[in-house]
Structure 1
Amino acid sequence: MADDRDFEVPMGMFQDLEDLKAQVTQLTAQVKALTAGAAADPGEALADDETTAGGDSSGDRPDDGEEWQYPPFILLLDPPAYDDELRALVEWVEGVLVPGYLAEPSADARWCHLWTEHTVAIARLHALWLAWQECTDPASCGYTGPSVWHRDHYDPCMRELRASNGPFQGCTKGEHQVEHRLPARVPSAWNDPGHGRTR
C-alpha cells in the first residue's frame, strides 16, 4: 500500500481542481441568491454573485442591499452613458489590445485607426472587452479564463474584424472609409435616434 505522503498531484490536475472549486463557489452563491431573492428580475444579479464588468472607472460594487446589473450592450446605451462606455472601451483597446495583440495591418489582417467610426467594430470590441473582464477574473473563471477568452472570444472576433471583407475592408494605412459598410436598408429597431450610431 502506497504512502499518501509520497503521492504527488500533477499540475494540470491541481489547476482543474482549483477551477472546479471556483465554479462550485460561484454556483453556491447563485443558488443562495436565487433562493433568497426569488423576486429579483431576470438578468440582474446580487452584488455577491459577480464582479462588475462595465466601463465604470471605479469598478466598485454597489452597497449591500442594492442589486447589481450586468452592463448593457454598448449600442443600446444613450448619451452620456454611451460616451462614457465608449471612452472606457477606447482606453482598453488602445492601451491593451492594440499594443499587446495587433500586428501591423495588412491586406489579410486589416485594422482602422479610426475604428470608433465603425459601428460593427465598436459592437464587436465591446463584447470582446466584456468577455475579457469576466475571463481574467480568477474568482469567476479559475485559471483557464484567459485561455477561454483567447479561444472563444479573441480569435473569432479578430477573424471577423480583420478579415478582408470585414468592417475595415475599405480602410488602408492612408485611407479611412465607413460608408462602404452601411446597409441599403436599416432595420426599424436601429432607426431610433437614441440607438443609431451611424456616422
Structure 2
Amino acid sequence: MADEPDDVPEMDVPVGMFEDIEDLKTQVASLTAQLKELTGSEEGEPSEASADGAETAGAEAAEDSGEEEWQYPPFILLLDSPEYDDELRALIEWVEGVLVPGYLAEPSADARWCHLWFEHPVAVARLHALWLAWQELTDPVSCGYTGPSVWHRDHLDPCLRELRAPTGPFTGCTKGEHQILHRLPTQVPSAWRHENA
C-alpha cells in the first residue's frame, strides 16, 4: 500500500478494546449533550461570558461582605451572638430531648454529668460536634444504613467517655452542685478566631 509508511509497528490490539473505546465515545457524546443542555452553549463548554460573569459576581460578593465565606457548619465557639445563641438553643433542644433521655444514665463519680452543661465551653464544643455528626449520620440519603452505627462507634462513645470522665469538664460538678470556674478560660484563644488579616 502506497499511503502507509513502511515503519509502522505491528500492534496486537484486543478486539474488546475497540468496544470499550466506542462505549467511551458514546458516554462522552451523552455527557457533552447534557452539558450543552445545562449551559445553553452550542459548543458544549460554558461560554466565556457566563464564566466571566460568575467570577465577577463572586468577587463582588466577597468584596461586599468584607470577609471570607465560612464553610458551614462553623465551630460553635467561634460564633458571636445572635448566631451563637441560636445554635446553642438548638443544641440544648437536641441534648435535652435526645441525648439525655436516650443515652445518659444517672450521674456517678465515674460517669459525671452537669445539668448546666451549656455553661462549660468544652462540653458545648464536644456536644455540638456530636450533634453535627448525628445530623449527618442519621440521614440514610447521605450515609446509608450504617450511619447510626458509625455515629455510635466514632462519635457518641468517645464524646461521652471524655465528657463523663472523672477528669473531664464536669470534674468539679457533683450531684446537685455546679462548678464551672475550674475550667472556664478567660477568653477564646485568638488562634480559634476567624479574623481578616
The residue correspondences of 1:154-173 to structure 2 (distance < 5 A) are: 154-173=156-175
SS at match of 1:180: coil
Paired residues, number: 131
Q: Distance in 1 between matches of 2:134 and 2:189?
A: 30
**Are residue 100 (structure 1) and residue 137 (structure 2) matched?**
no
Letter in 2 for 1:86: L
Percent sequence identity is 82
- Choose the corresponding residue for 2:179, options 164, 177, 180: 177
**Are residue 152 (structure 1) and residue 158 (structure 2) matched?**
no
Q: Distance in 1 between matches of 2:139 and 2:181?
A: 38
Report the TM-score, using the length of structure 1 for normalisation.
0.59
Letter in 1 for 2:101: P
Letter in 2 for 1:162: R
Q: 1:86 — aligned with what? A: 88
Q: 1:70: how far off?
A: 2.4
Q: 1:182: how far off?
A: 3.3
Q: 1:133 — aligned with what? A: 135
Q: Gapped runs of 5+ residues in structure 2?
A: 1-34, 36-45, 56-69
Letter in 2 for 1:146: P
Superposed CA deviations along residues 24-52 of structure 1, whole A, max 9, x for unmatched, are: xxxxxxxx9xxx99x89xxxxxxxxxxxx
Structure with the bigger percentage of helix: 2
For the pair shown, the structure with the greater C-alpha radius of gyration is 2
Q: 2:116 — aligned with what? A: 114
Higher RCO, 1 vs 2 (CA within 8 Å, ≥6 residues apart)? 1
Q: 1:174: how far off?
A: 1.7
Over the aligned positions, Cα root-mean-square deviation in angstroms equals 3.0
Q: 1:187: how far off?
A: 3.5
Distance 1:100 1:176, change over 3 A: same
Letter in 1 for 2:89: R
* Runs of 4+ more than 2 Å apart: 182-190
Distance 1:83 1:185, change over 3 A: closer
Distance 1:76 1:186, change over 3 A: closer
